Each structure stands twice: as structure tokens, then as C-alpha cells.
Structure 1
Amino acid sequence: MISLGVCIFSILFGFILFKYPPENINSTYGYRTPFAMKNQDTWNVSQKCGGISMMLFGCINGILGIWAIIQPLGINNGKVQLLFLLTGAVVMIVIDEIYLRKLFNKDGSKRNRY
């Protein structure tokens, strides 16, 4: 059940973040990592990217949550779902940061395309 709640929250918040991203860098709302907050360009890209990845994470977590309910394991389902949640969150952040670093230099300036 943990995964289903997280699924709904992630899809909803991801959609809001993608559709209505915060316009200015802030410390309250949005995809906030040190690299994403370097400048306005990195901020704008990270909000869209973070919203998309959060919606994908929500869908995957929902599928895994339904699977954990349908196929009960001999171990605690809550722990398995929590493991899915934590692993997915870490993977989501890593993928977003790799994407940002492909688009921007360390100082936040856009990379030159060859």
C-alpha cells in the first residue's frame, strides 16, 4: 500500500512540476539540487526533467506496488515496497543529474553542441 500512495503523490506532483514549474529559483518548491539551483537556465530545465522523471517513477512504483500486493512474498511487503521507493528515488535523482550535466558545464553554462 505504501507504493500506491507514493505512486499517486508522485504522478500528481510530477505533473504539477512539469506543467506549472516554479519560475524562480527557490528553496521551497521544485526539483532542488545544488546543480539545479546554479542559475535560471539549469533551474528551468531541471524542473521539466524532474517532473517527467517523477511521473515515470510514480508509474513504475505503482506497478511494483500492485505486483507486491498480488504476489505476496514470504517477507514483509512493507519493507519490499519501501526498498522499491528508496531505490527508485535515488535512481530518479541520479538520472536527472546525469541529464543536467550533459546539457550544462560545471559552472551552469550551456555546453556547446558540436
Structure 2
Amino acid sequence: MGFWIYMFLMDLLIPICMFGFGKRFQSRPPREINSAVGYRTSMSMKNEDTWQFAHHYMGRIWKISGIVTGAITLVVFLFLYGKGEDTVGTVGGVLCFIQMIPLIGVVAPTEKALHKAFDKDGKKCLSQKRKET
């Protein structure tokens, strides 16, 4: 029972972090463009507009992913209740690797959205400017 609780809590860390950081970045990205904290790619760091856009976009994805992966984790661990340590450990490890997909996979859709909304110099594309008016 102790191992089940430990693995359950450990497997909830990624969804909780994704939800928390997603919510934070969506509403309040890091104030200054920096190379230490936040969504840092060459495109997102072009200017303040790209920085804000990237954090809002990836924050929304992380927030939703955190909720979904957290719910999946809860359901999976309900089925694991009372199982042996080998089963709980193996399934918990696999689940952890599956949770890494949206954690890291957020880069591709965020970069695609950035390149759609901004040109290579970080200026808003004409179609994006029309949506704002």
C-alpha cells in the first residue's frame, strides 16, 4: 500500500506541474525575455509580442494536458490498487513516460503557431493584424 501511494503521488507530479505552470504562463508569463525561465526558443524570444504569444499558447496546452493526464493517472491508479509492487512500478513508470509526451511535445504546436502569427523577424503577420481589429 505504501508503494502504491508513493507511485501515485510521483506520477501526479508531472500533471500538477503542467497544470500549474500552464496556468501561470498563460496568465502571467515571465516579465522579461530571458534565457533562464519560460518558453525559450529563438522565435519566442524575438520580441515582447512573440514572448507573450508563446507563453499564452503553450500555457493553454499545458493546462489542458495537465488536467487530462492527471485524470488518466487517477483512473489507472484506481485499477492498480491492491496490485503487486512490480505491477504498480512498471505501470507507473510507463505512465510517467507517456506524460512526458505533452510536456515536451508542446514545442512543435507552439512553434507552428508562432510561425503562423509572426514573420521571421517577429512582426505580426497581416492576417493576425486583421483579427485584432
Scaled by the length of structure 2, the TM-score of the pair is 0.73
CA drift at 1:90: 3.0
Instruction: Report 1:10-89 matches (<5 A).
Output: 10-72=18-80, 76-89=90-103
Structure-2 separation of matches of 1:37 and 1:83: 29
Q: Which residue of 1 aligns with 2:5?
A: none
> 2:29, 2:56 within 8 Å by CA — same for their partners in 1?
yes
Scaled by the length of structure 1, the TM-score of the pair is 0.83
Question: Counterpart amino acid of 1:17?
Answer: F
CA drift at 1:68: 2.3
> 1:3, 1:61 within 8 Å by CA — same for their partners in 2?
no
CA drift at 1:22: 1.7
Q: Which residue of 1 aligns with 2:113?
A: 99
> 1:46, 1:100 within 8 Å by CA — same for their partners in 2?
yes
Question: Secondary structure, in 3 states, of the residue corresponding to 1:71?
Answer: helix
CA drift at 1:37: 0.8
Q: Which runs of 5+ in 2 are unaligned?
A: 1-7
Identity within the alignment, %: 28
Cα deviation code 1:42-91 (max 9, x no counterpart): 11111111221111121121022113212349681122212212211233
CA drift at 1:92: 1.8
RMSD: 2.2
Question: Secondary structure, in 3 states, of the residue corresponding to 1:107?
Answer: coil
Bigger drift between 11-20 and 63-72 goes to 63-72
**Based on CA coordinates, which of the two structures has the bigger radius of gyration?**
2
